[in-house]
Amino acid sequence: MDLVLFDLDNTLLSGDSDFEWAKFLIAKGVLDREVQEAKNQEFFEHYKAGTLDIHAFLDFQLHPLAHHARTELDAWHQEFMATAILPTISSQAKALVRRHQEQGALTAIVTATNSFVTGPIAREFGIAHLIATIAAQQDGRFTGKPRGLPSFREAKVARVEAWLESLGLWWGSFAKSYFYSDSHNDLPLLEKVSDPVAVDPDETLLARAQEKGWPVISLR
């Protein structure tokens, strides 16, 4: 059996779900456009540059969840999926996931974006396992804080290993382990698996992939 891990934003999606979620809330008037649009762009630029403060970003990303009922958030997310996410899912991305699953692989999405935003997207792909930054809840409402270790950079490796351990598995349980990603932020996990694959990669990841002889593919 193979282990196949997928990054989500700009990998399986031809866009960034957390960036789009903030844009969606701004467009609905839930967030102040003048203040939040600039902060959203600033965090996105830091992510691309590899300088993102994940805790400051999560305060920004998760804070709005704490101020609305879950039923309202779920209704917004359905609209968000239809308008912002489904158009970014290519037939190539779905076919890649389906091919690995038909071959009997254990598949999971591994993403820094929070579990509220990404859970329905994972289900759209038919991927049962999601390793995401956990949006903490208490009494049926989000707290606006993360729970546990954010799934980002080196911590993605730790989160995957904890998940495998919970299943009674480890890296050696698999004939091959794959990770598909677009971002140099994911180099720790890419370098951990046996078969890393760069997907529509940023410049830094493309250079590393070419240096290491990793496959480079496009899902767009």
Q: What angle do CA 45, 48, 54 make, to 5 degrees?
A: 80
Q: What is the DSSP string of 67-78?
A: GS-HHHHHHHHH
Residue 59 annotated among the catalytic residues of the structure: no
Q: How far apart, in whole angstroms, are the C-alpha atoms of residue 37 and residue 22?
A: 8
Catalytic residue among 7, 16, 182, 186: 7
Residue 7 annotated among the catalytic residues of the structure: yes
Which residues, 6+ apart, have CB-to-CB distance to 189 below 8 Å? 5, 110, 156, 157, 160, 179, 181
Q: How far apart, in whole angstroms, are the C-alpha atoms of residue 211 and residue 46?
A: 25
Is residue 63 a contact partner of residue 40, using CB atoms and an 8 Å limit? no
Q: Where are the alpha helices (DSSP H) in 103-148?
A: 115-124
Catalytic residue among 9, 16, 18, 182: 9
Secondary structure string (H, E, C) spanning 179-200 = EEECCHHHHHHHCCCCEEEEEC
Is residue 198 a contact partner of residue 214, using CB atoms and an 8 Å limit? yes
Element (H, E) at 105: none
Residues marked as catalytic: 7, 9
